[in-house]
Amino acid sequence: MTTPILTLAGGALLAVGASLWTLAEYLMHRFGMHALRGRGLASREHLRHHALQDSVLESWWFAWAGVLGVGFALGRSAVQALGPVGACLGIGWVAGYGFYDWIHYRAHRRPVAHPYERWVRRHHFHHHFGHPMANHGVTTPVWDMAFGTYERVDGAVAVPRRLAMRWLCDDAGDVREAYAGDYRLVGTRPWNDAQATEDHERAFANEAPVA
């Protein structure tokens, strides 16, 4: 193949690999984490994440090992079928996961940086605090729309005060002015052992936390 064709083919395979990741992101989040209700390491860790403030994936190395393994298998199969350019399929898959991992980390730990983050965070935090069995896509709502689990987020997302992301609140503990139209803090329940146990139980039952 000529260089322009190889470039186009490589770009297309990168896009296909990244798109395959977004589908896997949805399926694993919905069926591999929430539907299993704590059966298996990934499900347990994810549901604990729902019950804690600012928690992100603890066993990140385990997730990356799995993603790299799948990416290698995809790339190897595509190389056998298409030649060296097929490696772009596996690279796209891994890049898709890397983008997801970064967006999810930032959603819980860093202030909003641009309109895309603002948009997908509202979708994601409705999943956390409104309906854990809806809005499973973290980087895109496309698959939620395709499979009937999409819920449109109208108005401000209600966030239990004890679970509020630190970037959301000012020094007085109120929603920062920049986010006042997107989020509101609700509830006065304090963080204690009894509340932590209730939040854990509700997360493992796929129920939203009570404010």
Residue 9's pLDDT is what? 86
Strand 183-186 versus strand 157-160 pairing type: parallel
Q: Is the pLDDT of residue 163 over 60?
A: yes
CB within 8 Å of 178: residues ≥ 6 apart: 112
- Of the given ranges (51-60, 78-87, 127-136, 180-189), which has the lowest mean pLDDT? 51-60
Q: Give the pLDDT confidence of 5-40 residue by residue, as tens digits.
A: 778 989 999 999 999 999 999 999 999 999 999 999
Do residues 51 and 196 make contact, with C-beta atoms less than 8 angstroms apart? yes
- Residue-level pLDDT at 58: 67
Q: What is residue 75's predicted lDDT score, i.e. its pLDDT? A: 93
- pLDDT single digits (tens) 96-134: 999 999 999 999 999 999 999 999 999 999 999 999 999
Query: pLDDT band at 57, cuts 50/70/90?
Result: low
Task: Sort 69 into a burial class: Cβ within 10 Å, 0-12 / 13-18 / 19+.
Answer: exposed
- Which of 50-59, 149-158, 176-185 is predicted least confidently? 50-59
Q: Is the pLDDT assigned to residue 53 strictly greater than 70?
A: yes
Mean of the per-residue pLDDT values of the chain: 94
CA distance 134 to 20: 20
With bands split at pLDDT 50, 70 and 90, how would you rate the model's confidence at 2? low
pLDDT > 90 fraction of the chain, expressed in percent and rounded:
87
**What tokens appear for 146 in the block?**
């395709």
